Amino acid sequence: MRSEPLLELDGIDAGYGGAQVLFGLSFAVRAGEVVTLMGRNGMGKTTALRTLFGLLPATAGRILINGRDMTGAPPHRIAAAGLGYVPEGRQIFPRLTVMENLVATARPGTGRGWTLERVLALFPRLGERAHNMGPQLSGGEQQMLAIGRALMTNPDLLVLDEATEGLAPVVRADIWRALAALRAEGLAILVVDKNLDALLRLADRHVVMEAGRLAWSGTTAELKADPTLATRFLEV
């Protein structure tokens, strides 16, 4: 018997006030899978993730987590259901230290067992900056902190919006290495980023959006096999 997807979006409509942005968006992520959400600027990737996390209402469709209907649930319930969010722009708590950021939203594990110790082993830089306040950190350190904070909720699925945006190349490489390590231990990941090569190396499957709709989805092998896809949906 095949298990339920960890996450399923089914026919989601959403938008801002009267402006509809998502039109019947459907895709799924299974346990242990790494899936990308791709598309040019303004196609609705962030809107999809904000809707998923209960920050925007879905005006149609359903959001299922482990088969349970979570449509309309507030962000803390989405987190409690097993989704960890690394939002666009990091959004770390500016008045808290690194350590305080990590524990502020922490939640005991459902088996993955993320602790402060393990997060600091994944990102040693955070240990060196333990008592610094959020705004004193570099962009890369802030992103490590945002990822560490999400891991401290012991998610089954880690969701990252613009995983490496605005970071120096060496720091980007650190983030991709960390995500590969998380993948290797079986964590499911849903990731938005602009670096196609890095996404192709990391992910199993890809979901491509155009104008708020699902434009294409398939495996890394399928995406690599059709170079016209990148031209049609991804390149500016």
Which residues lie near ligand ATP (CB under 6 A)? Answer: 16, 19, 21, 39, 41-47
* 236 binds, options ligand ATP, Mg ion, none, Cβ within 5 to 8 A by partner type: none
Q: Which is nearer to Mg ion, 45 or 129 (CB)?
A: 45
Instruction: Give the residue among 46, 44, 49, 51 at the shortest CA–CA distance from 21.
Output: 44
- Interatomic CA distance for residues 83 and 156, integer angstroms: 6
- Interatomic CA distance for residues 3 and 132, integer angstroms: 43
Q: How far is the CB of 191 from ligand ATP (least distance, A)?
A: 13
* 16 binds, options Mg ion, ligand ATP, none, Cβ within 5 to 8 A by partner type: ligand ATP
Q: How many CA atoms lie within 13 A of 163 on its CB side?
A: 28
Q: Which is nearer to Mg ion, 46 or 153 (CB)?
A: 46
Using CB under 5 A as the binding criterion, the count of chain residues that bind Mg ion stands at 2
Q: Which is nearer to Mg ion, 45 or 172 (CB)?
A: 45
* 79 binds, options Mg ion, ligand ATP, none, Cβ within 5 to 8 A by partner type: none
Q: Would you give the binding string for Mg ion spanning residues 34-53, x where CB under 5 A is met?
A: -----------xx-------
Q: Which is nearer to ligand ATP, 120 or 190 (CB)?
A: 190
Strand, coil or helix: 176: helix
- Interatomic CA distance for residues 40 and 64, integer angstroms: 26
Residue 45 sits at φ, ψ, to 5 deg, of -65, -50
Q: What is the residue-wise DSSP string for 181-202?
A: HHHHTT-EEEEE-S-HHHHHHH
Q: What count of other Cβ atoms lies within 10 Å of the Cβ of residue 215?
A: 17
Q: How far is the CB of 19 from ligand ATP (least distance, A)?
A: 6
Q: Which is nearer to Mg ion, 48 or 63 (CB)?
A: 48
- Interatomic CA distance for residues 236 and 39, integer angstroms: 10
* 47 binds, options ligand ATP, Mg ion, none, Cβ within 5 to 8 A by partner type: ligand ATP
Q: How far is the CB of 39 from ligand ATP (least distance, A)?
A: 5
Residue 5 sits at φ, ψ, to 5 deg, of -60, 150
* 140 binds, options Mg ion, ligand ATP, none, Cβ within 5 to 8 A by partner type: none
- Residue 21 token pair: 């942005």
- Residue 45 token pair: 């990737």
* 170 binds, options Mg ion, ligand ATP, none, Cβ within 5 to 8 A by partner type: none
Q: Which is nearer to Mg ion, 46 or 142 (CB)?
A: 46
* Total residue length of the chain: 236
* Site residues (vs Mg ion, CB under 5 A): 45-46
